[in-house]
């Protein structure tokens, strides 16, 4: 039986080897990163391609999708689809899927880890011991408790809800800002992001990266957090105005910052590197063996359902 053909836009580095091998075993995969002349490969197979496999970084632009006249689906590895031209896909009736859901738990866990890490100064405490300061100076100074503090969540989707549920155990006061209120959610809703931020000691960014959310956390929002406030970002770097962030930290207008994502990854603003009130992670939100395996399996499931003529397992609403 002839295998279905799939166009792979590039190497998906985060996909586990077992799932990558299954992709190449199950389908005839035209991998652009393995071709000496990717443009020639596209020209050769463009009329036969009905499905593109990609991820949130590689994406699929409208110009690129337009090269495949019979394209019907873009199957993404990862939750982020900010580099997929959804408007073009909708216009052309092209289905899009991602691997949301299976990564919620680990990403939410990292958000909790960053919240605890920055409030209890875990990184600085580790350095304190390693430098011998505990011996020379005695006990380290005091940190902050998160019990009773308001944590404002920007984006209460699947990951945001999981994160909020975990924080209930710590006794935090929870609030959220979304495009609209969810009446089934017990947390306080703010229609205005700045107002929520002003009332919160922590602002955690968990919303999708879109043209509407670019630099959504700007100088006004950052100033609303204030010198005792902490900003945590586990979504996308583009949502936070990094220039305004750096200035606020340098001026003491923002208390602390913890992030797994940055605007120009893997590059981080140099001014942040020596700040003791900043914690970094190298975009590892979903980086566990279990979650990356589940993400690969879900991507393969979406491809399987597409070629079987069945609804996608995790379609993106266009």
pLDDT bucket at 266, cuts 50 / 70 / 90 = very high
The closest alpha carbon to 234, from 130, 139, 151, belongs to: 151
- pLDDT score at 309: 97
- pLDDT score at 193: 98
Task: Evaluate whether the domain defined by 104-280 bears CATH number 3.40.50.720.
Answer: yes
- Per DSSP, what are the bridge partners of residue 131? none
- pLDDT score at 194: 98
pLDDT digits (tens, 9 = 90+) for 214-262: 999 999 999 999 999 999 999 999 999 999 999 999 999 999 999 999 9
- pLDDT score at 211: 87
- pLDDT score at 80: 87
Fold of 5-100+290-307: Rossmann fold (3.40.50)
Active site residue 43: no
Among candidate residues 161, 236, 292, 305, the one labeled active-site is: 236
Residues 6+ apart with CB under 8 A from 4: 27, 28, 50, 51, 307
Mean pLDDT along residues 268-286 = 96
Compute the radius of gyration of the chain from its Cα atoms.
Answer: 22
Give me 186's structure tokens: 């017990």
Checking if the pLDDT of 120 tops 80, the result is yes
Q: What percent of the chain has pLDDT over 90?
A: 96
Three-class secondary structure of residue 264 per DSSP: strand
CB of 283 closer than 8 Å to CB of 260: yes
Three-class secondary structure of residue 242 per DSSP: helix
Q: 5-100+290-307 and 104-280: same fold?
A: yes
Among candidate residues 44, 168, 220, 265, the one labeled active-site is: 265
**Start-end of H helices in the chain:** 17-26, 38-45, 62-65, 86-92, 104-119, 122-130, 133-137, 158-168, 193-199, 219-225, 242-251, 289-307
pLDDT digits (tens, 9 = 90+) for 39-68: 999 999 999 999 999 998 999 999 999 999
Mean pLDDT along residues 271-275 = 95
CB of 60 closer than 8 Å to CB of 82: no
Q: Max Cα separation, the chain?
A: 73
CB of 233 closer than 8 Å to CB of 261: yes
Checking if the pLDDT of 294 tops 90, the result is yes
Give, as one character, the DSSP assignment of residue 238: G
Domains in the chain: boundaries: 5-100+290-307, 104-280
Checking if the pLDDT of 1 tops 80, the result is no
Three-class secondary structure of residue 63 per DSSP: helix
- pLDDT score at 22: 97
Tell me the CB-side half-sphere exposure of residue 188, using CA atoms within 13 A.
Answer: 15
Instruction: Output the CA–CA distances (angstroms, integers) from residue 165 to 97, 129, 153, 161, 186, in the order listed.
Output: 26, 33, 12, 6, 11
pTM of the entire structure?
A: 0.92
Active site residue 67: no
Active site residue 168: no
Can you tell me the distance from the alpha carbon of 254 to that of 71, in angstroms, rounded to the nearest whole number? Answer: 47
Q: Considering Cα of 73, then 74, then 76, then 80, what sign does the dihedral take?
A: negative
Among candidate residues 283, 292, 305, 313, the one labeled active-site is: 283
- pLDDT score at 18: 97
Mean pLDDT along residues 26-37 = 97
- pLDDT score at 240: 98
Checking if the pLDDT of 82 tops 90, the result is no
């Amino acid at each position: 039986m002839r295998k279905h053909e799939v166009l792979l836009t590039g190497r998906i580095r985060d996909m586990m080897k077992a799932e990558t091998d299954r992709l190449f075993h199950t389908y005839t995969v035209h991998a652009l990163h393995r071709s000496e002349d990717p443009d020639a490969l596209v020209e050769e197979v463009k009329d036969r391609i009905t499905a593109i496999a990609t991820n949130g970084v590689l994406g699929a632009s409208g110009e690129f999708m337009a090269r495949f006249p019979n394209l019907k689906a873009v199957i993404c590895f990862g939750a982020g689809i900010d580099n997929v031209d959804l408007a073009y896909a909708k216009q052309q009736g092209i289905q899009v899927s991602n691997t949301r859901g299976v990564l919620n738990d680990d990403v939410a866990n990292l958000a909790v880890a960053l919240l605890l890490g920055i409030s209890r100064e875990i990184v600085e405490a580790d350095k304190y011991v390693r430098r011998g300061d505990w011996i020379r100076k005695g006990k380290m100074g005091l940190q902050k408790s998160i019990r009773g503090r308001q944590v404002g969540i920007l984006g209460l989707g699947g990951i945001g809800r999981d994160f909020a549920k975990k924080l209930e155990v710590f006794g935090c006061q929870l609030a959220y800002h979304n495009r609209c209120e969810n009446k089934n959610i017990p947390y306080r809703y703010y229609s205005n992001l700045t107002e929520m931020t002003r009332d919160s000691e922590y602002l955690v960014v968990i919303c999708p990266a879109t043209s509407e959310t670019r630099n959504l956390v700007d100088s006004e929002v950052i100033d609303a957090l204030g010198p005792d406030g902490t900003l945590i970002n586990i979504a996308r770097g583009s949502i936070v105005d990094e220039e305004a962030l750096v200035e606020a930290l340098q001026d003491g207008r923002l208390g602390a910052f913890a992030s797994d994502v940055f605007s120009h990854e893997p590059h981080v603003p140099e001014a942040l590197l020596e700040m003791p009130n900043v914690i970094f992670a190298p975009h590892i939100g979903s980086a566990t063996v279990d979650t990356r395996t589940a993400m690969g399996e879900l991507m393969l499931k979406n491809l399987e359902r597409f070629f079987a003529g069945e609804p996608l397992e995790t379609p993106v609403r266009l």
